[in-house]
Amino acid sequence: MSTAVIVGAQWGDEGKGKVIDYLAKKADLVVRGQGGNNAGHTVVVGDKKYALHLIPSGVLYEDTLNIIGNGVVIDPEGFLKEIDGLNEKGVKTDHIYISDRAHVVMPYHKEIDRLSEELRGEKKIGTTQKGIGPCYMDKVERTGIRIVDLISDKIETIIRERVAYKNFLIEKLYESPPLDVDKIVEDYLKYAQRIKPFVRDTGVIVYNALQEGKKVLLEGAQGTMLDIDYGTYPYVTSSHPISGGFAIGSGIGPNMIEEVLGIAKAYTTRVGSGPFVTELFDETGDLIREKGHEYGTTTGRARRCGWFDAVAVRYSARVNGMTSVALMLLDVLSGFEEVKICTGYQYKDQVIMDFPSSLDVLDECEPIYETIKGWDEDITEATTFEELPVNAQRYVRKIEEIINVPVKIISIGPKRSQTIMIGEIF
Ligand code: GDP
Ligand code: IMO
Ligand code: MG
């Protein structure tokens, strides 16, 4: 296999950063294809912890090219802060390229993200307020600014024109003070100078690497259940976190994608608003949150927690064409008397097996659980599947059976060493 896509199988934060970092030692390229710095991917190496937002999670390997593809939306300020932060920690960043076709997140995107959320009131999406939705809106409306524009000599004119229009909206529609255009011009001219050396036609680089038989890891951000088409709309993000998103966001054709590795937590979490059928509102939910340190990498918000939802992950397996699964944070479930897997949804007198589109239906769905005996042992030092307690093995096998995709990786802690490989990925 020379191309593997790593996708979030749930609502994000499944541990994609850990898996990418783990697999990146074998990869020639790691490529992001959608989202922006709404992502927060954690990589733990020894006693150091890295929270990556825009920069791909292969950055710690100097021989691996790290590419931010055309489908990503780039906040230059966020990008440069991340570069500086990594450099301060002694991490080199000259093996990072960004696509000339990627769109630029502007201050008005962030402001409109914030103002729109305020307007939505109780119905707010709970966005990360990084300007992601408004930036993708402009891209689709054909008024976006691309990296190629940012580094051109026309950028000042472009910014002045766009800010005038957005300020009109901010003042008249949102009744909020306008943004300072001179400050934006000054900042973005500086960003442009610093960003220029990173810019390439990255699609060509990815394509050529594949032609040469190199190994390419495609790093998904967010998760399938946050996909703009397949997620719990409108409580979703504004891009395609599924495997197909890479055929658009990285510059290669769909036939070049081989392995599709879905990353799933051994339970479920979600940040922000929206349906969550297996959500736990009791002390079990609190215990999972505390044991799993379930607080957002990007916003610090407490994550909502619940049992493993196999209806959602089976759906996710289908829409991604998943060929394997990495089951993450299994260690967090040690110590529970019993663990539960949701195998179907009870909706009135019907049993639903395929994830429904209607939020009204989801609202009334009750989880149907299969209960498995728990295990008490600390599993964070296990090195093989056989070393896991029998009930933990049963739990993994049961999930595998219900979602009908082989589990090839089991993660039992945040560190690289706390990874059990059951099959080859790459
Ligand atoms: P991502 O957005 O999918 O990359 O996931 P995040 O980094 O936002 O959240 C996953 C969190 O779980 C991070 O704090 C990781 O360090 C941590 N983590 C990853 N795998 C494991 C695991 O197997 N066990 C435990 N206890 N923590 C893990
Ligand atoms: P990673 O890559 C979890 C959620 C937000 C909100 C919704 C829309 O770390 O898994 P947005 O700012 O994208 O318009 O917010 O999507 N969200 C994430 N949740 N992990 C993420 O990324 C997320 N990125 C966005 O909380 O509910
Ligand atoms: Mg995250």
Q: For the segment 114-173, what is each residue's pLDDT rounded down to a tens digit?
A: 999 999 999 999 999 999 999 999 999 999 999 999 999 999 999 999 999 999 999 999
pLDDT at 1 over 70: no
Ligand 1, atom 9, lies closest to the CA of 13
Domains of the chain: 2-98+199-260 (3.40.440.10), 103-195 (1.10.300.10), 264-421 (3.90.170.10)
What is the mean predicted confidence (pLDDT) over 183-195? 98
Angle between helices 390-403 and 310-320 (to 10 degrees): 50
Percent of the chain with pLDDT over 90: 97
Band the pLDDT of 425: cuts 50, 70, 90: confident
What is the mean predicted confidence (pLDDT) over 317-337? 98
**Could you report the per-residue pLDDT of 7-41, keeping only the tens digit for each?**
999 999 999 999 999 999 999 999 999 999 999 99
- 127: tokens are 């966005």
**Could you report the per-residue pLDDT of 150-161, keeping only the tens digit for each?**
999 999 999 999
Q: Give the per-residue pLDDT at 7.
A: 98
Q: Give the per-residue pLDDT at 377.
A: 97
Contact 117, 124 (CB under 8 A): yes
Q: Give the per-residue pLDDT at 165.
A: 97
| Ligand 2 centroid distance, CA of 364 (Å) | 24
CB contact set of 120 (below 8 Å; sequence gap of 6+): none
Which residues neighbour ligand 3 (ion) by CB within 5 Å?
A: 13, 40, 297
pLDDT at 304 over 90: yes
42 lines ligand 1 (CB under 6 A): yes
Q: Give the per-residue pLDDT at 297.
A: 81
| Ligand 2 centroid distance, CA of 331 (Å) | 24
Q: Give the per-residue pLDDT at 128.
A: 97
Cα-based distances in Å from 76 to 25, 136, 150, 383: 27, 15, 10, 41
Ligand located closest to 15 CA: 1
**Could you report the per-residue pLDDT of 190-230, keeping only the tens digit for each?**
999 999 999 999 999 999 999 999 999 999 999 999 999 99
**Could you report the per-residue pLDDT of 95-111, keeping only the tens digit for each?**
999 999 999 999 999 99
Band the pLDDT of 268: cuts 50, 70, 90: very high
pLDDT at 352 over 80: yes
- 326: tokens are 């990495």
| Ligand 3 centroid distance, CA of 307 (Å) | 19
Contact 14, 223 (CB under 8 A): yes
Band the pLDDT of 298: cuts 50, 70, 90: confident
pLDDT at 364 over 80: yes
Does the pTM exceed 0.75?
A: yes
Between CA 278 and CA 303 the distance in angstroms is 13
The pLDDT mean for the chain works out to 97
Three-state SS letters, the chain? CCEEEEEECCCCCCCHHHHHHHHHCCCCEEEECCCCCCCCEEEEECCEEEEECCCCCCCCCCCCEEEECCCCEECHHHHHHHHHHHHHCCCCCCCEEEECCCEECCHHHHHHHHHHHHHHHHHCCCCCCCCHHHHHHHHHHCCCCEHHHHCCCCHHHHHHHHHHHHHHHHHHCCCCCCCCHHHHHHHHHHHHHHHHHHEECHHHHHHHHHHCCCCEEEECCCCHHHCCCCCCCCCCCCCCCCHHHHHHHCCCCHHHCCEEEEEEECCEEECCCCCCCCECCCHHHHHHHHHCCCECCCCCCECEEECEEHHHHHHHHHHHCCCEEEEECHHHHCCCCEEEEEEEEEECCEEECCCCCCHHHHHHCEEEEEEEECCCCCCCCCCCHHHCCHHHHHHHHHHHHHHCCCEEEEECCCECCCEEECCCCC
64 lines ligand 2 (CB under 6 A): no
